[in-house]
Amino acid sequence: MSTAKIALRGEPLSLRETLDCGQAFRWREESDGSFSGIVGGRAFNLSADGDAISVTSGDGLAVDETFWKNYFALDISYSDLHKAYRKDEVLSRCVDFAPGIRVLRQDFFEVLISFIISQNNNIPRIKAIIERLCDSFGDETGGDETGGAASAPRRAFPLPERLASLSPDDLAPLRAGYRAEFILRTSRAISENPDIVREITGAETPKAREILLRFHGVGPKVADCVLLFGLGRFEAFPVDVWIKRAMAQLFPGGLPPQACSTAGIAQQYIFNYARSLM
DNA sequence: ACCCAGGCGACGA
DNA sequence: TCGTCGCATGGG
């Protein structure tokens, strides 16, 4: 077991608000308030520790501090973002509702498949389908699960090659419905052309979006979620049913201009706020 | 029984 | 290019 402390230096970050706000689906809150999850094929436990986050690996291997700073986007000053957002009264209310939300930098393929699953679906069911997907086809994580005492070790998110080798019958137990076909087709496309991932990550946002839209099961909303959560394009602004309602009601004149270059981050505050109300 | 969920692809005009 | 519509599944 290995632990590292990630200093926050006054940067806002709430584990609960960040890990359970609908951008990531595999973190679980433990009875002691810590969170356990699988990232990069390894099990970790996260706990708040004053002005720091304690990251403990379940496999005993070293915890890469640089990785976690990047995961939590600690290079972005949310203190500054909040200050700018709060100049707008409505956006200020959204931020105040859950000021500890940060937009994570997650794995591209995991985000891509997860948000294909998310379409026309609700969050508890999205989580359940993803967990079954990982249980069925993900690689084992090394060592003991850090969180649950007697719970079975959780598995990594499956690799594209693994999912590409499967048939619709294999996915039937996931109960993913018509999305199963999208999962297979997208996984095959990436498995057959791995270079496309570098092409996407290296492209300007409009070009990256255009490529993403070619995958079956990826439309404008899912593409924007992948850009935002899986590619660190914080200007991407996913519009789902909640945001559509919230924008009409809270921001009929559009997003405040100071939020436009980080529209996706503002979107998370608005999404969270809207979902709590309506 | 109906409606809805972090929508999308196919199809027709 | 733009609306409509069907879509698997499960919870309210």
Task: Quick: pLDDT tens for A110-133.
Answer: 999 999 999 999 999 999 999 999
- Distance (Å, whole) CA A238 – CA A145: 34
Q: For each of chain A's 278 residues, which pLDDT tens digit applies?
A: 799 999 999 999 999 999 999 999 999 999 999 999 999 999 999 999 999 999 999 999 999 999 999 999 999 999 999 999 999 999 999 999 999 999 999 999 999 999 999 999 999 999 999 999 999 999 999 765 444 444 677 999 999 999 999 999 999 999 999 999 999 999 999 999 999 999 999 999 999 999 999 999 999 999 999 999 999 999 999 999 889 999 999 999 999 999 999 999 999 999 999 988 86
Tell me how far CA of residue A151 lies from CA of A131, A132, A144, A146, in angstroms.
14, 15, 10, 10
pLDDT at A153: 78
Nucleotides of C under 7 A from a protein CB: 7-11
Dist CA A213 CA A163 (whole Å): 20
For residue A37, give the nearest of A10, A51, A55 by alpha carbon: A55
How far is residue A275 CA from its own chain's centroid? 17
| pLDDT for the residue numbered A149 | 45
What is the spatial distance, in angstroms and rounded to an integer, between the CA atom of A185 and the C1' atom of B11? Answer: 21
Q: A3 by DSSP, 3-state: which?
A: strand
Strand B nucleotides with an atom less than 7 Å from a protein beta carbon: 4-9
Any strand B atom closer than 7 Å to A241 CB: yes
pLDDT of residue A147: 47
Element (H, E) at A210: helix A205-212
| A216 CB closer than 7 A to any strand B atom | yes
Structure tokens at A80: 């500054």
Active site residues per annotation of A = 221
Residue type, A89: E
Q: Is the distance from CB of A205 to CB of A94 less than 8 angstroms?
A: no
Please give the pLDDT value at position A144: 55
CB of A112 closer than 8 Å to CB of A230: yes
pLDDT of residue A150: 47
> What six digits make up the tokens of A222?
């899912």
- CA A209 to C1' B12, whole Å: 27
Task: Give the list of residues 6+ apart from residue A134 with CB closer than 8 angstroms, or none.
Answer: A26, A38, A154, A155, A156, A157, A158
Q: What distance in Å separates the CA atoms of residue A271 and residue A249, rounded to the nearest whole number?
A: 12
pLDDT of residue A184: 98
